[in-house]
């Protein structure tokens, strides 16, 4: 598993260097030993000052090719600056084709990175710090070969925010 962690670290460094100018916030948490326990929440705090700006918000996931499922059930909780829960839901994310097993995402060796949209053209209602909390909700605990989880908050360009 150590070689897998080193490769994951190198891939993360290359990936983060490729950030574009529309990225408002991007953070990533490694999962210790690639074993994600149900009790282990990944929490990200995002400062929003411009409430007129629209954003696309993405899950960032990294898994090993040995991940035993084609999907991942993920609990998402978004809390606003006043501690009010804006959203709490269970999402099913598809990491590979259910029939062929072919992985989705971008791969390097046996590592695959996924960027999955979950909030499109979203305008945050108040200025302040928003908290995104993710936990896995699969039947297997711990869940193997999930190496990292993160969030990316990206500004939507003015011309893109007006399209349907």
Domain with 144 in it: what CATH number? 2.60.120.380
pTM: 0.84
DSSP letter, residue 65: T
Tally of domains in the chain? 1
Whole-angstrom CA distances from 94 to 14, 50, 79, 143, 155 are 24, 32, 25, 15, 25
pLDDT tens-digit series, residues 23-48: 999 999 999 999 999 999 999 999 99
Question: Residue 16 — pLDDT band, cuts 50, 70, 90?
Answer: very low
Task: Give domain status of residue 130, yes or no.
Answer: yes
Which domain, by its residues, includes 148? Answer: 2-157
């Amino acid at each position: 598993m150590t070689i897998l962690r080193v490769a994951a670290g190198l891939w993360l460094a290359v990936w983060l260097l490729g950030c574009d100018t529309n990225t408002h916030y991007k953070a990533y948490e490694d999962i210790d030993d690639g074993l994600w326990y149900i009790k282990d929440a990944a929490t990200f705090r995002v400062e929003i000052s411009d409430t007129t700006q629209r954003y696309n918000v993405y899950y960032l996931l990294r898994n090993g090719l040995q991940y035993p499922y084609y999907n991942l059930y993920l609990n998402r909780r978004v809390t606003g600056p006043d501690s009010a829960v804006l959203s709490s839901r269970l999402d099913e994310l598809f990491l590979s084709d259910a029939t062929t097993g072919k992985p989705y995402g971008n791969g390097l060796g046996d590592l695959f990175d996924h960027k999955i949209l979950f909030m499109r053209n979203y305008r945050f209602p108040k200025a302040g710090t928003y908290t995104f909390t993710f936990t896995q909700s699969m039947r297997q605990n711990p869940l193997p070969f999930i190496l990292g989880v993160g969030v990316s908050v990206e500004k939507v360009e003015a011309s893109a925010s007006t399209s349907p």
